[in-house]
Structure 1
């Protein structure tokens, strides 16, 4: 941080000889207590530290006309109020406020330098998936109960590198959800395999969601990352519930198949023809059994015949025909889930990215205007 002001008590230009004026451009000091200093402080500072290795990192240059240039190296941790509704697709603007602590505006006024008031190094790199989107400077004079104070403000716009969050959050969550769908291709009788796969993916997704929440400050509103992680947990949990439904359907299928077999046996017993009953209807006993059956065939009641030609033939549609190709209802649930779950997740991705990217773009335009 550099500050420059003029102190007419330090003018020594008239004391220099002509030869000395060319050689001495300014005097350098390292003791700030020897000259008057403004009581500058950072209004939103939380933690600050000076650099004193190996010597205090500061210098004071006194020019012949009384100008004083004070440069010091400091490290600051400042507070910044952020709105994280679009995290991690958001941009945050943080301010650095510089003001006088005790001198009012009638005594001390801060003015930005005309050229290059804020200088940013070209090789600046920020941790945590951030990048510097832009910066600016303005005035932020404040009025308090003790008077009006001059204030300077540096605006720093921080944009998040989306690729960082795609690699660390979105892709791992998508892979966990996809792994949970593998259970749809396993046999419904493989209970240990399907339960272990569902529970493992659910625990992995819950751990990922907890780690995301721990890295962010608690807020009262829903963030974009909360929507993503919550829906991913819902899909993994739904895959586990799907197997519970399949297990219940498989047991119902077994009971249904047993009842169908019993009903078919009763129908066969009811529809079977007993030739011995023809003897009670007057058939000659001396005839050969085979001839007796043939000659007594006219005694069979018409209701014993199956008239298939009288039943109209209905052509089943493709969907019902495809559904009847599977023997068990549990198998149908797995087949539907193989198509339904990826389709719904793809639709959610289309809505999520289109909605939040459009909101992020509109937020950028509002800040630019």
Structure 2
């Protein structure tokens, strides 16, 4: 009895295992039928088998076309967002998709005959595990401070191979890149920030990087918008690696500061650092020209008040440039909201004169000259000096303002070597292309 029972149990177990294996085989055949590209199962199996055998025949430590010619690697970037532009740390952030394309003859496989091919070549999407079996260019960003590949919900990478052996690798990254900025023309400045791509181990005799000309080396999302800057265009080209004869390409982004923010912004966000308030204070100092020279308290009070107001604005500008701003913040910032605004708008401490320094000096000179004018008029006791000042001060100030704006407007537009190559928006495509 026990023998029969044991035999029945063993028989039932083997039948269950065989049924499960048959079911798995049936499901696998169904999946293969559905996943077979273009419906040609025999061709698909042949191509897949070729790809599976190829890595075993190749050494991924050896680059394609070794001892034959430098390998050309085409690079394309799709910029989805400018995350930040920080003047204090002199860097900017990007989120983008980087596409690499190169040819490896060892990965060629037979074409699958069907109309749905890429450039008359069959292209297959591969599992990312297959990437470990391939030679991949050692791309790095020369001006990178930090970077990472997105991994939510899985590695944001895509690998494709076509029948001619071309490999297409895409990945989504976020990077913080250094950008050397100059502030002589602040707040009418133009900054040129670049992304530099190099090969770390292979020199130009082995690998050559170039911008992909088919879709455009750099594409930008239509939704890109910066709060304080305007993206005027970008320039693509080669660069020289400081490490030696290594392949290097760069894309330069031309960013012009939107002056409207500084033209009309009132305190306390920028702490009086605006053109309209200072202009109004200068005009306020001219009221003393219409007050009798015998009204000494009124004219002196008005003159001293305007001088002190301009002086406080100049002090605020100096304090805003300091690296250690805690002392300044305790006296001028009354809320966390203003603290955040100031930190975002802060500039690094520089040793040269900026455009806003020139403006503040001009305003100081005019309000001080108004006080001196009263002293001269009162000492000589000639009201005609006031009548002359009523015309001279506004007219000369208007001329100075025109020269000031014209000078810096011309300076910021002088971008040697960039204006001829700069790319701009084309229609509603949201893609910047090189001018013909």
Work out whether the TM-score is over 0.5. yes
Alignment-derived partner of residue 356 in structure 1: 408
Alignment-derived partner of residue 121 in structure 1: 221
TM-score of the pair, normalised by structure 2: 0.54
Alignment of 1:1-369 (within 5 A): 1-11=98-108, 13-14=109-110, 25-30=123-128, 33=132, 35-115=134-214, 116-128=216-228, 130-142=229-241, 144=243, 148-168=245-265, 169-185=274-290, 187-190=295-298, 193-194=301-302, 197-198=305-306, 201-207=309-315, 209-210=317-318, 213=321, 215-240=346-371, 245=375, 249=378, 329=381, 337-361=389-413, 363-364=414-415, 367-368=418-419
CA 35–173 in structure 1, closer or farther in 2 if over 3 Å, else same:
farther
Alignment-derived partner of residue 260 in structure 1: none
Q: Distance in 2 between matches of 1:191 and 1:162?
A: 34
TM-score of the pair, normalised by structure 1: 0.63
CA 191–135 in structure 1, closer or farther in 2 if over 3 Å, else same:
closer
> What are the ranges of 5 or more consecutive residues in structure 1 without an aligned counterpart?
253-327
CA 236–61 in structure 1, closer or farther in 2 if over 3 Å, else same:
farther
Q: Which structure is larger by alpha-carbon Rg, 1 or 2?
A: 1
Q: Distance in 2 between matches of 1:47 and 1:338?
A: 58
Structure 1 or 2: more helix by fraction: 1
Report if the CA contact (8 A) 2:235-2:418 is conserved. Answer: no
> What are the ranges of 5 or more consecutive residues in structure 2 without an aligned counterpart?
1-97, 266-273, 323-345, 421-436
Deviation string for 1:186-234 (max 9, x for gaps)?
6423489537733552344325533774643444443333211221132
Q: Which stretch of structure 1 is more off in the superposition, 344-353 or 61-70?
A: 61-70
Structure 1 or 2: more strand by fraction: 2
Number of residue pairs aligned between Structure 1 and Structure 2: 284
Report if the CA contact (8 A) 2:192-2:254 is conserved. Answer: yes
Q: Distance in 1 between matches of 2:395 and 2:412?
A: 26
What secondary structure, in the 3-state scheme, does the structure 2 residue paired with 1:344 have?
A: helix
Q: Distance in 2 between matches of 1:331 and 1:205?
A: 32
Report if the CA contact (8 A) 1:183-1:197 is conserved. Answer: no
Q: Distance in 2 between matches of 1:232 and 1:121?
A: 42
CA 178–64 in structure 1, closer or farther in 2 if over 3 Å, else same:
same
CA 238–99 in structure 1, closer or farther in 2 if over 3 Å, else same:
same
CA 110–364 in structure 1, closer or farther in 2 if over 3 Å, else same:
closer
What secondary structure, in the 3-state scheme, does the structure 2 residue paired with 1:111 have?
A: strand
